[in-house]
Structure 1
């Protein structure tokens, strides 16, 4: 591209004696805002004498639209001219122009070439750009060892961003051996030099105890530093610390504040977390409509947790009208994006025919997928498929194995189910002691059916010694938690004075409760009371 220079009424002698960084007319630096209308002409006059600094300054003026119309093509032209004269800053800007396609077609190979030239000419900052090209294979073949080398060189020259990137190399074992202690060292160096991303990463190392001892207070400190410096990921992490009371006192109002800040800065995880606050009324007033709006926003931006939560809103009619078809749609989206909770929920939709046609084979498929991804409820549900032969062949041994796996991972329903397997000898040899053990575990964790069955174990000395007082205790607990069978059983204990004093009024009360729940045996028993 040809660029014409203006004709000026100024002598060659003037251009020889005036500093090439200042305007020939107003004598002000070109790096400042333009001071007179002749500044551009002054630069052009200097360029006539082959001045690469003037070329670079003129390129900047065209790039920024100072003293002339913004023109990225002309900016590119003069960066290239100055770069060809080995002006280091121009070389950097030329590489950047090629990298981003500014004023010219995007060309990563040429960008890489000029980043390399800049480094060869002594540019320290371009070491980072060269490393990035090698790391991601931009303009050259991917080479993690060379990326590591240049990140290290840049870090050793004091560039905090490179320090953070070098730490990432050590953390992930990219281009070098994995070394959590060295990763921690460089995260710390970068953070202390003001890199916000490194502050967040350093906080994560303290939080997880990686490369250093776990220290929740220090984790909180660095999350706070990064958040206050505007790093949106740290805002969400800081909110989590306030939400859970980790490294600081639990404070739901502050958690809400930082979720809101992170969400305003576009953090999709925070948008979902902010929705949870509105949904549960945590740190703010409960507002299901706002929760729904935010779940929808995060879901539409690709957050799979929000997709599942949005589906729950549609399924239950929370903050919007109940819509099972839309619930199914979002469960499916979340499941296909790898959310194991949604996989389990999608399987339930297929099992019971909610929002879609009933399909036990598809239900089994998604329970299996969720179980493979570690969802303990799905492991229990998959076991039930094998136990009952729903969507697959009946396999009691496999059912038992999966119930056991889910129970050992803390699934309360699975604890009840494995106890029943031991009690009935399904998929395993009958073992009343183990049945008692698992009923007790499930009961202590709040499962009302297990409470009722545990009471029966005590009443009939199954897997434990007979103890009518303990039987009464667990019937009472189960009844208070709504188990219909236990309500009737508790009434019987009062009626017969077993494990407690005989009390016909209380017996009548509990028979009546059971009858109100359409429990047939209780209806007969209440008739006897009359």
Structure 2
């Protein structure tokens, strides 16, 4: 700050204005600068009013206040200050506090709750038009936006396009962005789409995240030019780094799948986490998938449940179903079929037909009141009569098990057969009903054929039933323990807890496959950790007796206690034999 300017400020209003502005812009003494400018603003100096308004809006030299910032900005705007008119137009368009009055000085208590902001496109349009007509490029772009996105009686796409053109010609990045979006909106040919791309590229010079994001979409989808995953990833990254949640999701997904960029699970997780914490539902669902499936990162069902819940609470159907499955199996959450049913209903209401099948299966567990069961059956019946195969399957389940209606296995068989051509769950049920002689004459050959079809499609319940029949010799061709073991393995790797226990039992000996107690203990542990009581019993036995080569009586006792808490009588007997409560020494 020059001595000359300080001295001049004592005598000249213009010099005093320059002095206050320099104090604010240099950051030398913003509080003193605000004091100088506030004094001039009170005297009606337009530039000072504008500067005081910006100080309140930015919290520079004074505590921030949206209302006071808008009030002083409007004073300057009414005096013809073009930049103030643009700022005021922006404030009205974004939204000022409900009940805001420009002529009224506000006094807000320190603990007062902020009032909701109410966008006012009409007032925004009035002030934007004043600044736009005066030739202010960013105001011209803002007026184009208001004419594009405002109320129907205010909208005028052609006038908006004209203002975007003027703004772009004036060098406004927002003008280039609006013009690019307008070209995309009206594009009928690749030439126009390419013009849109060029305008959006110009908009990126101003660092606009929306421009980067839209270019990512253009190159990902091949709008007006061939698809280019590398270019799409590049633009998504640029927008992501500028804090745009939708771009963070897109870039995280590109890293997750290796689309246009080297696959990197760790960086994908980081970007998706940022997006999810910023409210991106799809990112939260993807994080749930990452933690549930594991892979390069170890499975973490507690984290999976957290992210699935975040997405499900925001209406993401598949995430709601995934959360229901976690409650059904007890992975990462306490096992609770009623909670599982609740999330399956949420998913089904959002159009997830797989969740409808899950609801049909859950109906067997007795979940819900009789009134709820009747309503569920009626819903399935309406869908079935409309030709919906999932509805036909679920109606068949209700009739087969007497859920919300009188048990009628013959009619159930009719609906199940109708659904079997398109619903894997129905193939399993049809096969099971045939081998059990429910609604049909017992037919092992045809029943196994349907079970094979469902098993080949990945239906773990079908794999389990076939494996059991192969163990006992009820399947076509008699016993086949090696094939049964392969089926248990497939189901276990897909998360079927009972299959994990069965695989442990197969490895444990007594079957026509090589015994491997170390591997048996591995599978017993996996099933035990997911709440299977018999697996907890077996893991306890293995550890107490050292059956897999390592004895750990203390841990074994804990697993036996957990099995006992599930009323496994053999676990209670094992604990009684152990007696005492002191941990045993660990031996090799």
Interval of TM-score (by shorter of Structure 1 and Structure 2): 0.5 to 0.7
Match of 1:86 in 2: 80
Once the two structures are TM-superposed, the CA of residue 15 in structure 1 deviates from its matched residue by 2.1
The structure-2 alpha-carbon separation of the partners of 1:342 and 1:479, relative to structure 1 and needing over 3 Å to count, comes to closer
Matched, 1:211 2:224: yes
- DSSP 3-state at the match of 1:221: helix
Match of 1:281 in 2: 294
Match of 2:12 in 1: 15
The structure-2 alpha-carbon separation of the partners of 1:187 and 1:417, relative to structure 1 and needing over 3 Å to count, comes to farther
1:148-163 equivalent positions in 2, closer than 5 A: 148-163=161-176
Q: Which moved more, 1:42-51 or 1:393-402?
A: 393-402
Q: Given that residues 350 and 360 in structure 1 are in contact (C-alpha distance below 8 angstroms), is that contact kept between their aligned partners in structure 2?
A: no
Structure 2 Cα separation of the partners of residues 113 and 46 of structure 1: 27
Matched, 1:262 2:257: no
Q: Given that residues 53 and 70 in structure 2 are in contact (C-alpha distance below 8 angstroms), is that contact kept between their aligned partners in structure 1?
A: yes
1:400-439 equivalent positions in 2, closer than 5 A: 406=422
Structure 2 Cα separation of the partners of residues 167 and 11 of structure 1: 49
Match of 1:303 in 2: 316
Structure 2 Cα separation of the partners of residues 36 and 243 of structure 1: 47
The structure-2 alpha-carbon separation of the partners of 1:486 and 1:140, relative to structure 1 and needing over 3 Å to count, comes to farther
Once the two structures are TM-superposed, the CA of residue 370 in structure 1 deviates from its matched residue by 11
Q: Given that residues 133 and 142 in structure 1 are in contact (C-alpha distance below 8 angstroms), is that contact kept between their aligned partners in structure 2?
A: yes
Q: Deviations over 1:446-474 (max 9, x none)?
A: 679999xxxxxxxxxxxxxxxxxxxxxxx
Q: Deviations over 1:247-301 (max 9, x none)?
A: 3454433433332333344423212221222222233222212222222233234
Q: Which of 93, 96, 99 is equivalent to 1:101?
A: 96
- DSSP 3-state at the match of 1:96: helix
Q: Given that residues 232 and 267 in structure 1 are in contact (C-alpha distance below 8 angstroms), is that contact kept between their aligned partners in structure 2?
A: yes
Match of 1:491 in 2: 478
Structure 1 Cα separation of the partners of residues 11 and 384 of structure 2: 79
Q: Deviations over 1:39-63 (max 9, x none)?
A: 4564356558754222212322344
Structure 1 Cα separation of the partners of residues 34 and 461 of structure 2: 86
Q: Given that residues 59 and 75 in structure 1 are in contact (C-alpha distance below 8 angstroms), is that contact kept between their aligned partners in structure 2?
A: yes
The structure-2 alpha-carbon separation of the partners of 1:237 and 1:62, relative to structure 1 and needing over 3 Å to count, comes to closer
Structure 1 Cα separation of the partners of residues 377 and 8 of structure 2: 87
Q: Given that residues 163 and 187 in structure 1 are in contact (C-alpha distance below 8 angstroms), is that contact kept between their aligned partners in structure 2?
A: no
The structure-2 alpha-carbon separation of the partners of 1:37 and 1:323, relative to structure 1 and needing over 3 Å to count, comes to closer
Report the RMSD for the aligned CA atoms in angstroms: 4.9
Once the two structures are TM-superposed, the CA of residue 493 in structure 1 deviates from its matched residue by 11
Match of 1:245 in 2: 258
Q: Deviations over 1:421-458 (max 9, x none)?
A: xxxxxxxxxxxxxxxx999987875679999xxxxxxx
- DSSP 3-state at the match of 1:489: coil
Matched, 1:365 2:362: no
Q: Given that residues 325 and 355 in structure 1 are in contact (C-alpha distance below 8 angstroms), is that contact kept between their aligned partners in structure 2?
A: yes
Once the two structures are TM-superposed, the CA of residue 101 in structure 1 deviates from its matched residue by 1.6
- DSSP 3-state at the match of 2:52: helix
Instruction: Count the aligned residue pairs.
Output: 434
Once the two structures are TM-superposed, the CA of residue 245 in structure 1 deviates from its matched residue by 3.1
Once the two structures are TM-superposed, the CA of residue 242 in structure 1 deviates from its matched residue by 3.0
Match of 1:119 in 2: 132
- DSSP 3-state at the match of 2:137: coil
Once the two structures are TM-superposed, the CA of residue 311 in structure 1 deviates from its matched residue by 1.8
The structure-2 alpha-carbon separation of the partners of 1:218 and 1:419, relative to structure 1 and needing over 3 Å to count, comes to farther
Structure 2 Cα separation of the partners of residues 367 and 51 of structure 1: 75
Matched, 1:28 2:38: no
Once the two structures are TM-superposed, the CA of residue 317 in structure 1 deviates from its matched residue by 1.4
Structure 2 Cα separation of the partners of residues 246 and 107 of structure 1: 39
1:38-49 equivalent positions in 2, closer than 5 A: 39-40=33-34, 42-43=36-37, 46=40
Matched, 1:381 2:390: yes
Structure 2 Cα separation of the partners of residues 370 and 290 of structure 1: 38
Unaligned residue ranges in structure 2 (runs of 5+): 1-6, 102-117, 433-448, 482-509, 513-588
Unaligned residue ranges in structure 1 (runs of 5+): 1-9, 373-377, 421-436, 452-477, 495-507, 511-530
1:320-359 equivalent positions in 2, closer than 5 A: 320-350=333-363, 353-355=366-368, 357=370, 359=373
- DSSP 3-state at the match of 2:299: coil
Q: Given that residues 448 and 481 in structure 1 are in contact (C-alpha distance below 8 angstroms), is that contact kept between their aligned partners in structure 2?
A: no
Structure 2 Cα separation of the partners of residues 151 and 489 of structure 1: 74
Structure 2 Cα separation of the partners of residues 223 and 371 of structure 1: 46
The structure-2 alpha-carbon separation of the partners of 1:22 and 1:234, relative to structure 1 and needing over 3 Å to count, comes to same
Q: Given that residues 187 and 199 in structure 1 are in contact (C-alpha distance below 8 angstroms), is that contact kept between their aligned partners in structure 2?
A: no
1:185-224 equivalent positions in 2, closer than 5 A: 185-187=195-197, 189-191=199-201, 192-193=204-205, 194-224=207-237
- DSSP 3-state at the match of 2:232: helix
Structure 1 Cα separation of the partners of residues 280 and 269 of structure 2: 14
The structure-2 alpha-carbon separation of the partners of 1:266 and 1:22, relative to structure 1 and needing over 3 Å to count, comes to same
Structure 2 Cα separation of the partners of residues 219 and 371 of structure 1: 46
Match of 2:248 in 1: 235
Structure 1 Cα separation of the partners of residues 412 and 243 of structure 2: 55
Match of 1:182 in 2: 192
The structure-2 alpha-carbon separation of the partners of 1:419 and 1:179, relative to structure 1 and needing over 3 Å to count, comes to farther
Structure 2 Cα separation of the partners of residues 332 and 218 of structure 1: 40
- DSSP 3-state at the match of 2:325: helix
